């Protein structure tokens, strides 16, 4: 496969444009391996051999009939990949390629060197939608998504000419409701909606953090109360023991007093 790729001929353009106006100059160069002593090159336009054998094929004044698919082949190469050359007499010019719904779209069927074009037809996706016998310009005042598509034009000069297609994209500014009907959605509404969502998110975050801190504080307070309660119980227990000992001492003293009095009476 690598050997085959190395033997393929390659076409380059000077200047490097694949679309040119009529009467402009274009040169095609073919590069590929040759047989020793044989520098001949074969050229093909739309599959038909061209009567030239040099590696350079020059178009000094391009004609629309010279548009098409060019290939070349050298003595030791396989045919080159095709190069599509488009030679125009008529161009469809547009004010922009991308529009927002509601903006105007201007189409102009423009001929080479501002030549007069008449019986102009404008097409969308291959279907004619506007005819003008003299005016080569047409404006869609308010675009919508139905105006998306590929546009081209045709008209009469010395011959009948057709332009290349140009893709137009119209961005919608509408949201569909549940019922399927369209309702306008201004920009300020979208800004307000996203701002509200952001504020709600911020408020929820602050509430979560506050509640978390409050729960931590209550947990700490309950722990302190529990420790204080245990300490109080221990102090009460010690006081009760002291009172009990004091009562026993008093009781012993009361028992000893009658014995002392009896000894004093009987010497």
Cα distances from 202 to residues 16, 81, 136, 191, 210, in angstroms, run 56, 60, 58, 17, 12
pTM above 0.75, yes or no: no
CB 72 within 8 A of CB 28: yes
Residue ranges, the chain, pLDDT below 50: 1-5, 175-183, 265
pLDDT score recorded for residue 90? 92
pLDDT at 212: 81
CA-CA distances (angstroms) from residue 113 to 22, 59, 102, 134, 172? Answer: 9, 19, 33, 17, 37
Write down the residue that tokens 């080569």 correspond to.
Answer: 136
pLDDT digits (tens, 9 = 90+) for 43-72: 999 999 998 899 999 999 999 899 999 999
> How high is the pLDDT of residue 181?
41
Sheet containing strand 26-31, strands side by side: 10-14, 26-31, 56-59
Is 191 in a helix, a strand, or coil?
helix
Indicate the Cα dihedral angle 258, 261, 265, 266, nearest 10°.
Answer: 70
3-state secondary structure of 250: helix
Contact 119, 142 (CB under 8 A): no
**Other C-beta atoms within 10 Å of 138: how many?**
17
Helix (H, G, I), strand (E, B) or coil at 252: helix
Dihedral angle computed from the Cα positions of residues 58, 61, 159 and 130, in that order, rounded to the nearest 10 degrees? 90
- Segment (H or E) for 171: strand 166-171
Backbone conformation region of residue 172, classed left if phi is above 0, alpha if psi is from -120 to 50, else beta: beta
70 and 45 Cβ atoms separated by less than 8 Å: yes
């Amino acid at each position: 496969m690598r050997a085959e790729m190395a033997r393929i001929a390659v076409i380059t353009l000077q200047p490097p444009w694949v679309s040119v106006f009529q009467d402009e100059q274009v040169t095609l160069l073919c590069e590929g391996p040759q047989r020793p002593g044989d520098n001949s090159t074969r050229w093909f336009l739309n599959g038909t051999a061209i009567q030239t054998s040099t590696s350079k094929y020059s178009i000094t004044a391009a004609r629309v009939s010279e548009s098409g698919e060019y290939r070349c082949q050298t003595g030791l190469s396989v045919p080159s990949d095709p190069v599509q050359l488009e030679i125009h007499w008529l161009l469809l010019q547009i004010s922009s390629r991308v529009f927002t719904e509601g903006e105007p779209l201007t189409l102009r069927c423009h001929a080479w060197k501002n030549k007069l074009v008449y019986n102009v037809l404008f097409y969308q996706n291959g279907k004619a939608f506007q005819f003008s016998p003299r005016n080569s310009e047409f404006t869609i005042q308010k675009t919508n998504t139905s105006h998306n598509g590929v546009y081209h034009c045709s008209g009469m000069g010395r011959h009948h000419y057709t332009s290349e297609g140009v893709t137009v994209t119209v961005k919608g500014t509408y949201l569909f409701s549940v019922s399927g009907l369209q309702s306008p959605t201004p920009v300020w509404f979208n800004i307000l909606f996203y701002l509200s969502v952001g504020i709600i998110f911020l408020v929820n975050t602050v509430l979560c953090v506050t509640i978390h801190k409050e729960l931590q504080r209550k947990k700490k307070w309950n722990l302190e109360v529990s420790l204080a309660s245990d300490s109080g119980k221990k102090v009460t227990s010690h006081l009760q023991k002291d009172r009990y000992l004091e009562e026993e001492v008093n009781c012993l003293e009361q028992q000893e007093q009658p014995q002392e009095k009896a000894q004093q009476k009987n010497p």
